[in-house]
Chain A
Amino acid sequence: MEEHVEEATGQVRFVPSKESKKGKKRKRETDTKDPPLLIIEDGEPLDKKAKKWKNKTRVLILCARGVTYRSRHLMNDIKTLLPHSRSDNKLDRKDDLSSLVELCEMKNCTKCIFFEMRKRKDLYMWISHLPNGPSAKFLVENVHTMNELKLTGNCLLGSRPLLSFDPSFTGSPHYSLLKELFIKIFSTPYYHPKSKPFIDHMFHFGLLDNHIWFRNYQIVDDGKTLTEIGPRFTLNLIKIFSGSFGGATLYQNPHYQTPNAYRRTIKLMMAQKQDKKVKQKKKISTATRKVLDGLSRDPMESVFDTLNYK
């Protein structure tokens, strides 16, 4: 391992030495039985390609303990979609989020996507730039994984995506910041060794109802049509922080309602409805009783009653 000082950030990182890297590559070449595919990519030898690979952004994708299978599958889908991603073990719930900064540093990652789940119901997603932020926290809703959706689209594993954004992403500063974060995280670096030279799919970030909608389309017929690949999810922004996984709040979504509050309001509404029903029933029953009482009384009963004048 060699100590590497990055010029831009001035940070010390541990990067495997060049020799070992080369050795790895050679080994890989001998391993696969299809050498032309790996040696010549993008119309040029892999070594040259590796030299051209300048943007060394890596994204750490991980989740906390206690996520359900669907969210885990979603995480895996995102991992497969981003060839520049790295994974790590599930984070313990006890651990502080700030430990993620260290973890990312250890893994040479400058970006992070972190999933956590509360009550085994509400999935939260952090996206963060490391080490100094900014970061954003979202509530993830309407999750449909790639396996679940039987969509007909398919694309190369590791091909670089185009990123399409709703025009209103440029409207307000918080959305433009989010757009920038998305670009940095979801676009695969040019000449990334795991990437493919063809661009055959695109991510779309729609903005509707104050939610960000993620869609993944395959480009078919040289751009004439789009077929969806999956997964699908929507992001409901909660907050944007200045630091990574914390720090001062830069933006707070006024439209955000916590899932607990939402459930509570729904429950209250149902309760009111039921209350109304019960009250109405009571009213009706008393009314009918009155009528029945009137019917059951014998009209001749009071014929022989004498009036008492006192």
Chain B
Amino acid sequence: MESEEENFEEIEEENESEEEDEDDELEAAMASTTLYDYKKGLVRPLVPKKTFINDMAGLNQGKKELEEKHSSWLERMDLNSSVVTIQKKKNSTSSGTGSKKKEREANNDEHGDEVDIENDFSREMHFVRQAQASLLIGLSKLKELDIPTVRPEDYFAEMIKTDDHMRKVRERLLSRHKRIEASEKAKKLRDMKKYGKKVQENVLDQRRKEKKELLQKVKKYSKGKGEKPEFLRREDDEEFPTKVVPSTQRKERRGPMKSKKRLAKDKKFSFSSFKKDKRNTAESSADMRMFPSSRTGGRGQNKSFGKGKGGKKGGGPKPRPGKSNRARQKLKRRNRH
């Protein structure tokens, strides 16, 4: 057992040291089935971890080779940002343990910056902050070396983005700005409307209240208990309190004011204050004044109802004679002249 455990440890070490020569040994160990996870009390073959190459010496060597040529800063222009990235863990909650919080605070003191990768804004802001930190160093270096960072206004040269592209960008910005403005305006209007409604309600409430109070007062007064309401008081009326307002006065008050135009029209076309009832009644339908019998002889009346030749029965003017009769009459008339 002990020997096996030792073997296991050995193999683990082998896993850590990524030497290719020891792969064969590993394979041999696998074949002899000594790789079992005894610690967990399970008998299952232990799969060796996948190894990843990390040849530090080679990396350093490659870096050195690269560094050799053109190593002055003006050729390289590289800068190290001082803002450290602290990746926000996906499951971390805002209320961490005390020690963790302290750690985070300590990190923040060292220009650390907690970043939520999923949050675009936080990520981009982090990059900007990092770039700005390194820019501070870079600008001071450039100042020392007397290299201009600001283009003089009379220096015209081709830009990376074409004017056409920049125009599009500007248009987009403008349209976005407009959209935002419009939405804000709409919002304001909506709010105003809401406020106006509230005010209206308040006013109506107030009016209702006043009316109620007034009615109560009037009621009290009519029972002879309360004081006389203000609107009923008149200077000459103090000694003779009248309970009822004169009808003429009341009539004047009733109804809305008529405009001048309406009044003129009323004068012209005659306006009666009550509306005529247009519907027929038994009386109105029996009324024959509209059809004077002396002229139509009742025939017109019948005709209007479309009831055939009832006209012959009634009196009145004689019906039109037949054609031959008319011709004879015509002849007679001619002969007379």
Binding site for B on A (CB under 8 A): 8, 37, 54-55, 57, 80-81, 129, 132-134, 146-147, 150-152, 154-158, 160-170, 173-174, 176-177, 179-181, 183-184, 187, 189-190, 196-200, 202, 204, 206-209, 213, 215, 217, 219, 222-223, 226, 228-229, 240, 242, 248-254
B83 interface residue per 8 A CB criterion:
yes
Q: A199-B148, A202-B134 given; name 7 further pairs at CB < 8 Å.
A: A55-B70, A154-B159, A163-B78, A167-B82, A173-B63, A198-B148, A226-B131
Rounded to whole Å, the gap between the CB of A82 and the closest CB of chain B is 11
B254 interface residue per 8 A CB criterion:
no
Contact across chains for A164 and B138 when beta carbons are under 8 A apart: yes
Contact across chains for A164 and B59 when beta carbons are under 8 A apart: no
Contact of B130 among A160, A199, A206, A228 (CB under 8 A): A206
Interface segment, one of B160-168, B240-248, B321-329: B160-168
Cα–Cα distance between A176 and B63 once the two chains are bound (Å): 7
Instruction: Provide the residues of chain A in CB contact with B94, threshold 8 Å.
Output: none
Given A163-B77, A206-B126, A226-B135, are A180 and B161 also a contact pair (CB < 8 Å)? no
Cα–Cα distance between A168 and B110 once the two chains are bound (Å): 14
Instruction: Provide the residues of chain B in CB contact with A167, threshold 8 Å.
Output: 80-85
Given A190-B75, A204-B127, are A250 and B55 also a contact pair (CB < 8 Å)? yes
Rounded to whole Å, the gap between the CB of A41 and the closest CB of chain B is 10
Contact across chains for B66 and A129 when beta carbons are under 8 A apart: yes
Given A154-B161, A156-B157, A181-B66, are A164 and B148 also a contact pair (CB < 8 Å)? no
Contact across chains for B60 and A223 when beta carbons are under 8 A apart: no
Contact across chains for A229 and B160 when beta carbons are under 8 A apart: yes
Instruction: Provide the residues of chain B in CB contact with A180, threshold 8 Å.
Output: 63, 66-67
Provide the B77-113 mask, 1 if CB < 8 A to any CB of A, else 0. Answer: 1111111110100000000000000000000000000
Binding site for A on B (CB under 8 A): 52-56, 58-60, 62-63, 65-70, 74-85, 87, 115, 117, 123-124, 126-128, 130-132, 134-136, 138-139, 142, 147-151, 155-161, 165-166, 168-169, 172-173
Given A219-B135, A222-B149, A249-B53, are A161 and B62 also a contact pair (CB < 8 Å)? no
Contact of A215 among B65, B76, B127 (CB under 8 A): B127
Contact across chains for B148 and A197 when beta carbons are under 8 A apart: yes
Measured CB to CB, the nearest residue on chain A to B173 is: A152
Cα–Cα distance between A197 and B332 once the two chains are bound (Å): 130
Cα–Cα distance between A54 and B71 once the two chains are bound (Å): 12
Instruction: Provide the residues of chain B in CB contact with A199, threshold 8 Å.
Output: 77, 142, 147-149
Measured CB to CB, the nearest residue on chain A to B115 is: A208
Contact across chains for B79 and A163 when beta carbons are under 8 A apart: yes
Instruction: Provide the residues of chain B in CB contact with A179, threshold 8 Å.
Output: 78
Cα–Cα distance between A164 and B56 once the two chains are bound (Å): 24
Instruction: Provide the residues of chain B in CB contact with A251, threshold 8 Å.
Output: 53-55, 59
Contact across chains for B54 and A229 when beta carbons are under 8 A apart: no
Contact of B149 among A200, A226, A254 (CB under 8 A): A200
Contact across chains for A55 and B115 when beta carbons are under 8 A apart: no
Contact of B58 among A81, A181, A189, A248 (CB under 8 A): A248
Rounded to whole Å, the gap between the CB of A16 and the closest CB of chain B is 22
Contact across chains for A208 and B87 when beta carbons are under 8 A apart: yes
Instruction: Provide the residues of chain A in CB contact with B56, threshold 8 Å.
Output: 173
Contact of B132 among A147, A156, A165, A226 (CB under 8 A): A226
Contact across chains for A152 and B131 when beta carbons are under 8 A apart: no
Instruction: Provide the residues of chain B in CB contact with A240, threshold 8 Å.
Output: 59, 62
Instruction: Provide the residues of chain A in CB contact with B75, threshold 8 Å.
Output: 55, 187, 189-190
Rounded to whole Å, the gap between the CB of A58 and the closest CB of chain B is 13
